[in-house]
Amino acid sequence: MNLYGKDLICTQEWKIKELEAVLELAAKMKRDRYSPRWTSLLQHRTFLMFFYNPSVRTRQSFETAATELGGHAQFLEPRAMRLKTATTAGETIEDAANVMSRFAHGLGIRILEDQISAYGEGDDLLREYAKWCTIPVISMAHDKFHPCQGLADLMGLHTHLGDVKGKKTLVTWGSGALVRSWCSPQEYMLITSRFGMNVTLAYPEGYDLDPEVIAQVKANCAQNGTSFEIVHDSVSGYDGADVVYSRNWMSPVAYASGELDKASERAKAALHPGWITDAARMKRTNNALFIHPMPVDRGSEVTDEIASGPRSIIYDVAENRLHVQKALMALTMTDAL
């Protein structure tokens, strides 16, 4: 499988076989973490990590991944560069991307929430970098997709469920004031539907996700002969679920004023208290696993009892970020494997 130089902006854009190659290598790297087969793969190679927004897991896991592969990950923020924006003069993406490509062997970008003024701008930015870069561009979470998280989620489900085909996952909106982007639940639904899961999406009226993504999830389910449904109550979706994913997300009008209106979004979310994954709801499931990309908003999206309970796989999935990203970097930043 030759993935050398390939961008990863959304898992949907990769073939199933390519995703499986990443997951298989990640599993080997997890089993045999410091094998000499991997520890020099990125020797003398640098991964640039360009963060418009903060991160715990993504920065730490990419940096650790580069270290474990014998390479280096360099942290960058927009304030450390002089980039042209809608309101400031500066360097174009064409120039920045071409120069980065002369130094490094891979570029990760994160752009979310208050760093954009309309949904889709982050995706456009990544694709503009990918157009000019001669090195692979990997999304480290942007407004539309979070492919590394999706791969880590699926790896966790394979570990705990084996084959996921025909299993039911509930993806439910969660209460809270965090005004979160759509990238993680969208990526999760794309990759789980692609790999054969039945998907139920639950959210209060007014919290629709990207219609193009929903259409693609439906198409994935149709192709696999599985089901996709949307419900607007906080309970029924749990019935018979094998996996429960809860997450707060912003409404489709969050950017209506030309910037992210956090105050309005918080006020709107406050009208929907009680959309929380708790023991009573989990009792309706098929002894479901609880999964979440983290950071978890405990007490709003999920109770402590469930987040820290025996069916929670949140830490396994967080750890998987390291292994899938090592596999991704090894496959896209070198042609050694």
Q: Cβ closer to ligand CP: 276 or 314?
A: 314
**By C-beta, is 145 or 228 nearer to ligand CP?**
145
Strand pairing category for 168-173 and 46-51: unpaired
CB of 146 to ligand CP, least distance (A): 6
The nearer residue to ligand CP, 12 or 58, going by C-beta atoms, is 58
Cβ proximity to ligand CP, 185 vs 237, nearer residue = 185
* Least Å from the CB of residue 206 to ligand CP: 25
**Nearest-approach distance from CB 139 to ligand CP, in angstroms:** 10
Are 165 and 224 in contact by the 8 Å Cβ rule? The answer is yes
Q: Where do the DSSP E strands lie in 77-197?
A: 106-111, 137-142, 168-173
Instruction: Name the minimum Å distance from CB 291 to ligand CP.
Output: 12
Backbone angles phi, psi at 278, to 5 degrees: -130, 180
Helices 183-194 & 16-31 angle (0-180, nearest 10): 100
Q: Which amino acid is at 217?
A: V
Instruction: Answer for the pair 290, 282: CB distance below 8 angstroms, yes or no.
Output: yes
The residues that touch ligand CP, with contacts defined as CB under 6 A, are: 55-58, 141, 149, 293-295
Nearest to ligand CP of 8, 221 (CB atom): 8
What is the DSSP pairing of strand 228-231 with strand 243-247? unpaired
Q: How far is the CB of 63 from ligand CP (least distance, A)?
A: 11
Determine whether 233 is exposed, middle or buried from the number of CB atoms within 10 Å of its CB (0-12, 13-18, 19+).
exposed
